[in-house]
Amino acid sequence: VGAVITKLQDAFVHYADSLADSELGTLDVDLRLIQESLKEDIGR
């Protein structure tokens, strides 16, 4: 039972890490879009 719980815990940690990585990937794109929008607003 302990080994199964450990494997489940490892699987959930791996899943959570992959979610965090995918969110960080889109964060970079979001920040670039915000930066471009701010540049356009300041340029007006």
Residue 44 has pLDDT above 70, yes or no: no
String of DSSP letters for 14-41 = HHHHHHHHHHHHHHHHHHHHHHHHHHHH
In this prediction, residue 27 carries a pLDDT of 83
In terms of phi and psi (left: phi > 0; alpha: psi -120 to 50; beta: otherwise), the region of 15 is alpha
Whole-model pTM above 0.75? no
Q: How far apart are CA 20 and CA 29, in angstroms?
A: 15
Q: Write the DSSP symbol of residue 10.
A: H
Task: Please compute the mean of the pLDDT values over residues 5-34 and round it to a whole number.
Answer: 86
Q: Where are the domains of the chain?
A: 1-44
